[in-house]
Amino acid sequence: MRAVDIIVNKRDGHELSTQEIQFFVDGYTRGEIPDYQAAAWAMAVLLKGMTARETTDLTLAMANSGEILDLSQVVPIAVDKHSTGGVGDKTTLVVEPAVAACGLPVGKMSGRGLGFSGGTLDKIESIPGYRVDLTKEEFLDQLGRVGIVLTGQSGDLAPADGKFYALRDVTGTVQSIPLIASSVMSKKIAAGAQAIVLDVKVGLGAFMTNLTEARQLAELMVAIGRSSGRRVVALLSDMNQPLGSAVGNALELKEAIDTLHGGGPADFRDHCIEAGGHLLVIGEKARDLATGKAMIVKALTDGSAWESFRRLVTAQNGDVSFIDDPSKLAHASIVEEVNAPADGYVMEIHARRVGEAAIMLGAGRAKKGDAIDPAVGILVHAKVGDSLKRGQKLFTIHANNPALVEPVRIALLQATTWSMVPVQPLPLFYGSIE
Ligand code: URA
């Protein structure tokens, strides 16, 4: 077999065989197929698509490119969740401890932010000392002992995805449904949880900007999970406007802490309750969604979710004094308000543009490996549909570089559109696929 023939086959719109896909993934992972051929192949897949069978083969080939964990060695059932990425999405920081507080073990390997989309690892690393580099043995030991783990993706799991993802990021080939589905599901299968909730974001601040494509992606991932013997539920959730209020690492951590204490912005809290409820159902701790959601509400109000978060931070060497007193977390030297320029109803707060404004401040990376500033970011004080008076607080900029405040202020005002007539609020979810 030759890599070039496989590229040509896909370029000409043919269905690749299981052997061809396996050959390509193995060759690329071992470094025998060079980046330029893998890039040409990824572009051919993006343009010509893949059948469900090809996508499943690709997923399994990538999952099998490294180690596959078996969490049933340490707990009878463990759950995992995955978000396809968005702005202000600090859901894992709340849902994981809440679910663990309900007696369901949860082991998660998270990623870093890239582009406008934030990453859970960057957020939790705002806690001094917190380790995100657990070994496989430490992961399994902590899951069995503490019932909750939140660490970085181990290099041994789905290494093919690590290579392909870095390549896709710089070759304009991220936005492909079969490539996203296989990337997400290869990692989830390798990470070993038996039941998985996928949070598929749709909207202006998501990879999938329309509901039809998001639904297609969700259905494909659920089918792949099922064919690998995993229980999977996919939620289709809104990412037109940022989730919650905070965008930026320590700011998002503080918002998660507020929510774990029973407060937090209503949309973010409701989102966590829904996602957590689904995890409890597929993890067989709740008989139906209403029961699961009620259990999460209880965990958020009776202090047990918070205690579970403290256990997580302690287990991973984080300094709990920083979460007990979040005023100790990194904070920016400049805090500046942006007010509504006129009376009106908020029609749009463009999630991607707000995410990009946060990156401009230093909250994210323009490319892999860039340093981030945990302190900086943006608080968004309004939601689509809100009625504001001129001069009312719309955003708060947290910056460390005074030269950035004005450009970010302009970017945020440009990210907001207004209407003179009432506007419907956006839904939190557009449905679920099981
Ligand atoms: N998240 C992933 O893990 N992979 C993708 O391809 C896109 C989003």
Cα(185) to ligand 1 centroid in Å equals 9
pLDDT score of 368:
64
Which residue among 108, 109, 177, 180 is best mutated to probe the pocket of ligand 1, counting the most ligand atoms within 8 A of its Cβ? Answer: 180
pLDDT score of 371:
84
Q: Is 187 among the residues known to form the active site?
A: yes
**Ligand 1: does its nearest atom lie under 6 Å from the Cβ of 190?**
no
Q: Which atom of ligand 1 is nearest to the CA of 187?
A: 3
Structure tokens at 372: 């981030």
Candidate list 126, 154, 176, 183, residue with the active-site label: 183
Task: Please tell me the pTM assigned to this model.
Answer: 0.93
Which residue among 81, 165, 169, 187 is best mutated to probe the pocket of ligand 1, counting the most ligand atoms within 8 A of its Cβ? Answer: 165
Averages of pLDDT over each 10 residues, the chain, 434 residues: 97 98 97 96 98 96 93 92 93 97 94 79 95 92 96 86 87 91 94 94 93 96 94 97 97 98 98 98 97 98 98 98 97 98 97 95 80 95 98 98 98 98 98 94
**Ligand 1: does its nearest atom lie under 6 Å from the Cβ of 197?**
no
**Ligand 1: does its nearest atom lie under 6 Å from the Cβ of 358?**
no
Q: Is 370 among the residues known to form the active site?
A: no
Q: How far apart are the first and last CA of the chain?
A: 38
Kindly report, residue by residue over 141-199, the tens digit of the pLDDT.
999 999 999 999 877 889 999 899 888 878 889 889 999 999 999 999 999 989 999 99
pLDDT score of 367:
67
